[in-house]
Amino acid sequence: MLRIITANLNGIRSAWSKGFSAWAAGQGADVICLQELKAQACDLSPEMRAPAGFHAYYHCAAKKGYAGVGLWCRRQPDAVVEGIGNAEFDAEGRYLRADFGRLSVISLYVPSGSSSPERQEAKFRFLDVFYPHLVNLAQCGREIVICADWNIAHQEIDLKNWRSNQKNSGFLPEERAWIGRVLAEAGWTDVYRRLHPEATEACYTWWSNRGRAWAKNVGWRLDYQLATPALAASAIAAAVYKQQRFSDHAPLSIDYDWHDERSSMPAGSCH
């Protein structure tokens, strides 16, 4: 079995102080994908650099206290790839990939557009840049899972108050259409939705800090694992962990009936 967890930490130091590392150590995960580190390499403690039982890799943003992604891997990867080759977004620390034989696991943090019109435009630029990369990944012959805070709720069942959010970042028609195209045309499967096609409240992974959203479960599903078809078809269980709060997001764990096989495929065959 292959267990992969994705978690937006809204600050690794904050999540660490709330017990995230102790929880993660007990999950039996093969790979844990982290987003929104809000830390640079110099801010990471020795324990964060080498969490017990894992090989840790980070792609931090150039801007202090901003963005950043990470991968904790039970087994040392054959190769680690940082960034997508785009100067604007690579400086923000948004993409990190680990290769294991013919399997790749990617931690991705899609920009949020909620803070300003300028950031929404940056988000649209990222979606334009990243779509061809998604197509290339899907066609390169590897089995891949992309764990991300996509900052987009795809369908009406993916958030509580969809009617009042149709003009808000994260549920804009253009964003929803982009995710729809990724799933319908680019060769990716939304693994949670494959397992739970009609789930509503149970699927939420993010809650605003305003208006007692957590207590009322007024949430959004923003954190997905998208996988290539064969890998997605092997998924047997998915769960959002809500018993503890490490962040304004909740971790999403998915188990795959996937038997890791070493392959002669070159580790760097996807770009």
CATH number at residue 71: 3.60.10.10
Q: Is residue 261 part of a domain?
A: no
Residue 68 is assigned to a structural domain of this protein: yes
Position of tokens 């996988």? 227
Instruction: Quote the percentage of the chain above a pLDDT of 90.
Output: 94
265 inside domain: no
pLDDT at 63 over 80: yes
The predicted structure's pLDDT at residue 268: 46
Structural domain containing residue 38? 2-256
Average pLDDT, the chain: 95
Q: Model-level pTM? A: 0.95
Which pLDDT value is given to residue 267?
43
Residue type, 37: L
Whether 270 maps to a domain, the answer reads: no
CA angle, 36 then 38 then 43, to 5°? 135
Check pLDDT > 60 for residue 262.
Answer: no
Report yes or no on 92 lying in a domain.
yes
Q: For 157-187, write each residue's pLDDT tens digit.
A: 999 999 999 999 999 999 999 999 999 999 9
149 is catalytic: yes
Question: Quick check: is 220 in a domain?
Answer: yes
Overall average pLDDT of the 240-269 stretch = 80
Residue 269 binned pLDDT confidence (cut-offs 50, 70, 90): low
Q: Does residue 217 lie in a domain region?
A: yes
Catalytic-labelled residue, pool 30, 99, 149, 255: 149
Q: Answer yes or no: is 244 within a domain.
A: yes
**How distant, in Å, are the alpha carbons of 83, 169, 170, 205 from that of 121?**
20, 11, 13, 24
Give me the pLDDT at residue 263, please.
39
Mean pLDDT of 124-135: 98
Is 259 exposed, middle or buried, given 0-12, 13-18 or 19+ CB atoms closer than 10 A?
exposed
Least confident range from 3-7, 67-71, 224-228, 259-263: namely 259-263
Within its chain, how far is the Cα of 103 from the centroid?
A: 16
Q: Count of domains in the chain?
A: 1
In terms of DSSP bridges, do strands 206-207 and 219-220 run parallel, antiparallel, or are they unpaired?
Answer: antiparallel
